[in-house]
């Protein structure tokens, strides 16, 4: 269990690509549609996890994460998962911190967001030139929301 | 991961109580309301598990179960869990098999059901005298359903 403190931003331009230290593909799906928590199965490279995150908007949420066997995750995503999302996660070091930049595919193609995990709500961090507007409080950018109402449909709504 | 094959029956009378080998209290709650799978947190005695079960009626369902820390389970049930159920689970050996008899409390008080896990759909088993009607296919008896529409409300519907 942990309190996750995370801030999320849009990304401007391509300047971050030269600074990527590591990239890995992610496939994930949700085992539930709504409620007080999201239950997510994720495969990153060959590592699988089950993640439970409190469904509230904002920088601070309860989060629980457990490793599970890869074969379980594959079956869970294929047979019980909804709201599948595929993306590439790029890790970009900036000063003392590492940004996670998610580049979405499929129905969310074109969307790129940057996240930073912080030790406290008040923690300061260096803002790289490619950092755009903050969207931490905008629940449309939650992966759970993107699965149900993908980026390609945003213009229409 | 496993395919769970389980049959569920009502219980007649109190004849089973003399044969109980072990009883333990269970508290559980669900992290989701509906969908393709139920996601359950359970504490039995001091052991906590996270369980994912395919939401289909019948004897055979996909099931995944993982141990989690007790403190996580307590927090998940208290802060993110809905559909809480409390029951006593009695284990009753009959021949080569062990029946699990669940005696419900709270809004489901009065309901007692017996379950047996089987190696195959065709497997035979001894039917003790206290075994009542089979309810395997009746989704009202799912713990997930009992949490939302408890036994005390059945007469009214």
pLDDT of residue A68: 97
Tell me: pLDDT of A33 over 90: no
pLDDT tens-place string over residues B12-52: 999 999 999 999 999 999 998 667 888 999 999 899 999 99
**Closest Cα in chain A to B49:** A66
B30 catalytic? Reply is yes
Residues in B lying within 8 Å of A, measured between beta carbons: 1, 31-37, 39, 50, 52, 54, 62, 64, 66, 68-69, 71-72, 75-76, 79-82
pLDDT tens-place string over residues B72-93: 999 999 999 888 999 999 999 9
User: Considering the entire predicted model, what is its pTM?
Assistant: 0.79
Give the distance from residue A92's alpha carbon to the nearest chain B alpha carbon, in angstroms: 31
Instruction: List the one residue out of A142, A146, A135, A140 whose CA is nearest residue A53.
Output: A142
Q: Which of A31, A34, A35 sits opposite B37 (nearest CB)?
A: A31
Indicate which residue of B30, B66, B142, B151 is catalytic: B30
Give the distance from residue B32's alpha carbon to the nearest chain A alpha carbon, in angstroms: 6
Query: How far are the Cα atoms of A74, A87, A142, B62 from residue A46, in angstroms, in the given order?
Result: 10, 15, 23, 22
The answer to whether residues B92 and B20 touch, using CB atoms and an 8 Å cutoff, is yes
Q: Which of A32, A52, A80 sits opposite B62 (nearest CB)?
A: A80
Reported ipTM exceeds the 0.95 cut = no
Give the distance from residue A33's alpha carbon to the nearest chain B alpha carbon, in angstroms: 7
pLDDT of residue A98: 95
pLDDT of residue A38: 87
**Closest Cα in chain A to B40:** A39
pLDDT of residue A34: 64
Q: Which of B39, B66, B69 sits opposite A39 (nearest CB)?
A: B39
Using DSSP, how many helices (H) and how many strands (E) does chain A show?
Answer: 2, 9
Buried (b) or exposed (e) across B142-152, using 16+ Cβ within 10 A? bbbbbbeebbe
DSSP H or E stretch at residue A150: none
Domain architecture of chain A: domains with CATH: 2-153 (2.40.320.10)
CA dihedral A67, A72, A77, A81 (to 10 degrees): -90
pLDDT of residue A60: 78
Give the distance from residue B41's alpha carbon to the nearest chain A alpha carbon, in angstroms: 11
CB-based contact A31 B50, cutoff 8 Å? no
Number of CB pairs, chain A paired with chain B, less than 8 A apart: 79
Q: Which residues of B touch A50 (CB under 8 A)?
A: 50, 66
Identify from B4, B33, B39 which residue to disrupt to test chain A contact, counting A C-beta atoms within 10 A and taking the largest count.
Answer: B39
């Amino acid at each position: 269990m942990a309190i996750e403190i995370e801030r999320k931003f849009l990304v401007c331009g391509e300047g971050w690509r030269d600074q990527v230290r590591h990239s890995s593909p992610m496939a994930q799906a949700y085992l539930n549609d709504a409620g007080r928590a999201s239950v997510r199965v994720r495969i990153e490279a060959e590592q699988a996890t089950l993640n439970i995150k409190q469904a509230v908007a904002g920088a601070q949420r309860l989060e629980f994460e457990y490793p599970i066997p890869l074969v379980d995750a594959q079956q869970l995503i294929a047979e019980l998962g909804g709201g599948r999302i595929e993306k590439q996660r790029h890790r970009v070091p900036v000063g003392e911190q590492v940004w996670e930049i998610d580049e979405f595919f499929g129905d969310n193609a074109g969307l790129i967001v940057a996240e930073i995990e912080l030790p406290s709500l008040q923690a300061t961090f260096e803002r790289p030139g490619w950092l755009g507007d903050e969207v931490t409080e905008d629940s449309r950018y939650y992966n759970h929301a993107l699965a149900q109402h993908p980026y390609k449909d945003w213009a229409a709504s």
